[in-house]
Amino acid sequence: MPSRVRLAIVSPDPSDNSQGVERFCHTLRDSISPYMIDGSVIAEASFRPSEYDVVLTNALVSVTTRLPKIHVYHGCHVPQIMRSHAEASVQWRLKFMIEAAFREIKNGLGANRVSVSNSCASELKRWYRLSSHVIENGIDTKVFSESDREDARDRLGIPQDGRAALFVGRPEWRKRPDIAITAARENGYTLYLAAGRPYEGMHWLGKLSPEQLSIAIAAVNVVLMPTQYEACSLAFLEALSVGTPVVTTDAGWVPDLLKAVPEYSALVSPINDTGRFTTALREADRNDHGISKASRFVRNNNSLEAFGKAWSEYIHGVHRAKDGEPNG
């Protein structure tokens, strides 16, 4: 029987459970608790080595320690910056890219490295020559489950008649909110935004908790995600778990989904192609089979149960091998 493991999960912001890496940290803690692992989501400054057996760090946030360490890559900053910050100068982007790459390499050296998708693992190998184990993101399929659209619209004040679409997350250039706005307008959708700040051209719902986000996803006809870079988007998984179609690009984890559910390809466009994305949105009304199959795939393969089991096995393996070589 495995011994109980005290795990420090170092988050960029332990108080936040609404987006990206921060939500990953809380989801991980909750999903591994049945498997003899006591996880604590903490800030970098709060880390005390004597209180833990293993430490898990994320992205550009890390700690220096002699404890067994797992470092999770939620993407690779070199290709991410190439497709981000269009408003910034070339000099700034190059400087940021070099600094971020240095930190990503440094944080992963000597650690057990985990990537959240095969595309992320390939990028680490290409740009940094770092190998990594792949554990895809997981989502709470009980929170993100099918619910009545009419009731969801009533709760959010969305009109019952008409088409509604949703954009989830920070409306930064990398996520291409401009493409979402254009596609929604040309296909007759009212576009809503779930994020921490408003954005012109979208109806702002505010920063939503996971429970509130699930209601918003159920209320709309489609989620729009014309992103230029993702590793394994939680919002994508959550929307499919609810059963709401997502029109997206072939970034990040999407190629992995298409290998399992090729029927979903009609809802996927190339990166940075407004015309193809707009056309793909028209398929959201007539691809029920592909959407249903993708929803079942996510609920089976990316549930908290599957996520927690994969992570608990990996963490216990790191703990047992603390005197050996890193797993990554």
Q: Note the pLDDT tens digit of each residue in 125-149.
A: 999 999 999 999 999 999 999 999 9
The Cα–Cα gap between 210 and 167 comes to 15
Is 80 exceeded by the pLDDT of residue 50?
yes
SS3 9: strand
Question: Where along the chain do its domains lie?
Answer: 5-138+303-320, 149-301
Is 80 exceeded by the pLDDT of residue 85?
no
CB 107 within 8 A of CB 60: yes
The Cα–Cα gap between 239 and 248 comes to 12
What homologous superfamily is domain 149-301 in, according to CATH? Glycogen Phosphorylase B; (3.40.50.2000)
CB 326 within 8 A of CB 109: no
Is 90 exceeded by the pLDDT of residue 83?
no
**For position 23, what pLDDT does the model report?**
86
Structure tokens at 218: 């159920």
Q: Which residues contact 311 (CB under 8 A, 6 or more apart)?
A: 28, 31, 32, 135
Q: Does domain 5-138+303-320 have CATH number 3.40.50.2000?
A: yes
Give me the mean pLDDT over the 11-17 stretch. Answer: 87
**For position 16, what pLDDT does the model report?**
79
Is 70 exceeded by the pLDDT of residue 324?
no
Q: What are the φ and ψ backbone dihedral angles of 205, each rounded to 5 degrees?
A: -100, -10
For the beta sheet containing 54-58, the strands, ordered from the edge strand earlier in sequence to the opposite edge, are 37-42, 5-10, 54-58, 69-73, 112-115, 133-134
Domains 5-138+303-320 and 149-301 share a fold: yes
CB 144 within 8 A of CB 214: yes
Q: What are the φ and ψ backbone dihedral angles of 200, each rounded to 5 degrees?
A: -60, 135
